[in-house]
Structure 1
């Protein structure tokens, strides 16, 4: 026999109408809410001993709240509003950028060390979440580590974008660019629309997404945390931001570390600098040489060759084959695709050159491909662009900083190709910069900053300049103009491969950094440090 549906019991309704019942129900709900709030308070507040969810520290102008927990570290978050144009407040009106902040407090700290991870376009919020513990192990507990998303980047608002929404980005951002010369007609035409869309999407604020404005934003951050002097560590593009800050505000530059150096003179004054690529090939060959030196037990890729030169030849020949014929990868009816040369070379090989800790994995992937198995590297790469940030902060900053647009670039396609191809051919990885040439040519947002790098700037304290001997994107040669720019600055060269000092372990560098930050000590002359471990 089928069961009859249960009829509602009106006992509950009668109870709810009872005033005493309603009163006790209200009290019970209130206690549950208070308990939940207390639990949330205890779970997320640092040390579980603060009295408020939001906290303002003595001498500071902003309040901080616990960040969403990430990677098991405790951080606090806040934000500051900055004027659209620091150098002409009348032009800003009521328009601002909102800059999100993140801080990892030091147990014995009285000062904030501002961190910028580079890019341009990288998130300081994400970087501190991912690398805060590594930085803390080097610096110790004597500084709060403070980072931020620069204007136009990641969680900053407004976000630098050339598309009004995700659907438009998916639809309009794709352009064929496998072969520079063959695909240049499409890229040339696509870029004209891209430049117009960037200007239209961002409006007036587009003109003020640049490095000098971000440097001035850092003074707003210092004011918010009640600090006069700049203590700073900037990596890669962050070295450019550090040089820009020190050039604009030398009297406040008390401890500035620039790490993995960008040549600011070429960045601001040149149409396009390819100095960044001068050591990329050397790092790639260094990776293969170190693999061969390590031998088959530590680097199985070396087993296919009898010399380092032969290993180079075999690997590059396999890349040539992949360029001519992509490899198919089929797992099942919902997971399959092609491993293309562009995906492997630019989205797997090039990023791995930045960090020697990934070299064993890279060698394993190349070994498998040479043996005819592309599955693991296909899955590892995700068949996606490793450089896609989901916004155009990098493009806005680069193009607004340097010499862009019709005043500096030939406007026909062939003249541009005649200029750019010899530059791109200087590196095996040069073609990755192809699209930015077209963007520079077509960019129609005017440059509004007036910063011009100078030599012989005297800062409050000499800068510390760090560089590996072979950096794939910020070569040692770029460190020398930085030293010429700032009186008394010193170069510390780390004898090894990798992007920035943190890509390798060096107790020598850690000691110099610690002494510089805490005591102001700089080496008497430019010096060298060795790495502490092998690459394989």
Structure 2
């Protein structure tokens, strides 16, 4: 699901409940390896025809850039990319352009720069033009289409939620079969050409068009997968690459099944950290505490009660009930945003008292028709990069495997992402990239990650440092996905030093957060 990220200080504040579902969940890249890319001078000299952005200040410029649908046929059918630029605030000291991707897959890089330019400008000390783009298949670039109208889309997704019974699961399976058919009929050959490797090649075209001989890039969550793919395709063209919230391309290059197993594997541990932090909070700071029982027992009872029967949500609009699947979905956003944990605890406590209105409202936002079509865009990229190996008819065996990998989110992502991919998804993505992943770049790649990251397991960052030929990992000793969700002056300083001066800290550097979730 797509994100519009507004940044406060050095961290992003997601503006909608649908902001985070795919910020990191997908590690994507399987199948045949494309032809090797050669390093060399920029291929494009014509530049980008920038124009004023409607409704934005003059320091923003917008453009549409044509790129080949199939990079193996550069003079063949063309598609368009929506691109935005924010001019450096210190133009007299400008170094070049810094490209950014917020994750997803499928989140809007245009929205990222539009809404967060002031803070992102500070990441580079005001010395870079910020360039964001909507990746192919998404948002205002040439998009994946699965419905002929908004009305058809809304009718298709009306009342859909994550299934928690065999009957609901059978119905959802039929829904994913229909979805795969619709997307194939309306999007056609585009589905085979929206892989991460395709996007990395688009990024290299944009780099050349802005006139930079080498790339400066900040990739967040799934954006780290774009970065790792680019670094391995074009290692000599990397000036600086900051990756925060690391996808593990090796764990995720086998199949969609392996991809999801990795993605859901850390949420349970982080949820335990949330419960522990609540238990240890000062009196009155966590609503779940102080009820005469351990916090973990109170929440476990809530989950078991919801598994047995829905909990009323009388103040939702319209009133309704919180199912077990909805309860799982309602944890997606707050678990990634530690500074929202006090409100999350209050919402869980209200549900334990019999009113699940707040949690149901959060779950509906993620499962609304608009939210689900954003999820479909993420699915389309995921299916191209990591095809499913198990057919959707085998869901009675496969969904429990996902749940074993991650109790909290396994079945959610299994139904949202794996099921459409396993339903005869119509993509033949022969140019997806499958490795190797050990490229050595001229300058080090800076990796950042929180020790307790629910969306991309911390071990992914550790393995990336070991695998890449020239990379340094900085650890935030705290929570959040990605690490900037909690402010840290230490992380801020290291980020600027790296992007501006190419200075990396000593290996093993650990930064402390400036704020704690509860007080």
TM bucket normalised to smaller: 0.7 to 0.9
Paired with 1:153 and 1:361, the residues of 2 have a C-alpha distance of: 32
- Runs of 5+ unmatched residues, structure 2: 1-44
State the shift of 1:469 in Å.
0.5
Correspondences of 1:219-258 after superposition (within 5 Å): 219-258=204-243
State the shift of 1:137 in Å.
3.6
Match of 2:148 among 164, 175, 182: 164
Q: Which residue in the other structure is 1:437 paired with? A: 418
- Which deviates the most, 450-459 or 222-231? 450-459
Paired with 1:144 and 1:454, the residues of 2 have a C-alpha distance of: 31
Matched, 1:278 2:257: no
1:82/1:233 CA distance change after superposition, 3 Å: same
Match of 1:466 among 448, 463, 466: 448
Match of 1:96 among 55, 58, 78: 78
Correspondences of 1:1-150 after superposition (within 5 Å): 61-69=47-55, 75-89=60-74, 93=76, 95-108=77-90, 109-150=94-135
Q: Which has the higher helix share?
A: 1
1:383/1:420 CA distance change after superposition, 3 Å: closer
Q: Which residue in the other structure is 2:393 paired with? A: 413
Matched, 1:261 2:241: no
Q: Which residue in the other structure is 2:384 paired with? A: 400
Checking the alignment, whether the CA contact within 8 Å between 2:161 and 2:325 is kept in structure 1 is no
State the shift of 1:145 in Å.
1.7
Q: Which residue in the other structure is 1:425 paired with? A: 404
Q: Which residue in the other structure is 1:213 paired with? A: 198
Query: Could you say what secondary structure the match of 2:251 adopts?
Result: helix
Matched, 1:178 2:157: no
Query: Could you say what secondary structure the match of 2:62 adopts?
Result: strand
Match of 2:283 among 282, 286, 296: 296
How far does the alpha carbon of each residue in 1:216-275 deviate from its partner, in whole angstroms, 9 at most, with x for none? 111221122121211001111000010001011111011011110111112233342211
Checking the alignment, whether the CA contact within 8 Å between 1:256 and 1:464 is kept in structure 2 is yes
User: Considering only aligned residues, what root-mean-square deviation do their CA atoms show, in Å?
Assistant: 2.5
1:476/1:330 CA distance change after superposition, 3 Å: closer
Paired with 2:451 and 2:200, the residues of 1 have a C-alpha distance of: 28
Checking the alignment, whether the CA contact within 8 Å between 2:328 and 2:412 is kept in structure 1 is no
Paired with 1:339 and 1:181, the residues of 2 have a C-alpha distance of: 18
State the shift of 1:401 in Å.
0.6
Q: Which residue in the other structure is 2:322 paired with? A: 339
Q: Which residue in the other structure is 1:55 paired with? A: none
1:367/1:355 CA distance change after superposition, 3 Å: same
Paired with 1:61 and 1:476, the residues of 2 have a C-alpha distance of: 39
Checking the alignment, whether the CA contact within 8 Å between 2:465 and 2:471 is kept in structure 1 is yes
How far does the alpha carbon of each residue in 1:302-334 deviate from its partner, in whole angstroms, 9 at most, with x for none? 22245xxx10110121122233332334469x8
How far does the alpha carbon of each residue in 1:183-220 deviate from its partner, in whole angstroms, 9 at most, with x for none? 33333333333222211111222210111010011122
Does 1 or 2 have the higher relative contact order (CA < 8 Å, sep 6+)?
2
Paired with 1:123 and 1:233, the residues of 2 have a C-alpha distance of: 14
1:253/1:384 CA distance change after superposition, 3 Å: closer
State the shift of 1:134 in Å.
3.1
Match of 2:304 among 291, 316, 320: 320
Paired with 2:380 and 2:396, the residues of 1 have a C-alpha distance of: 22
Query: Could you say what secondary structure the match of 1:304 adopts?
Result: coil
Bigger radius of gyration: 1
Match of 1:363 among 338, 345, 351: 345
Paired with 1:452 and 1:390, the residues of 2 have a C-alpha distance of: 25
Paired with 1:412 and 1:473, the residues of 2 have a C-alpha distance of: 24
Checking the alignment, whether the CA contact within 8 Å between 1:73 and 1:129 is kept in structure 2 is no
Correspondences of 1:368-387 after superposition (within 5 Å): 368-379=350-361, 385=367, 387=371
1:322/1:294 CA distance change after superposition, 3 Å: same
Checking the alignment, whether the CA contact within 8 Å between 2:198 and 2:432 is kept in structure 1 is no
Checking the alignment, whether the CA contact within 8 Å between 2:161 and 2:367 is kept in structure 1 is no
State the shift of 1:279 in Å.
1.5
Q: Which residue in the other structure is 1:25 paired with? A: none
Match of 1:517 among 495, 499, 508: 499
Checking the alignment, whether the CA contact within 8 Å between 1:305 and 1:311 is kept in structure 2 is no
Aligned residues: 463
Query: Could you say what secondary structure the match of 2:288 adopts?
Result: helix
State the shift of 1:465 in Å.
1.0
Q: Which residue in the other structure is 2:460 paired with? A: 478
- Which deviates the most, 163-172 or 277-286? 163-172
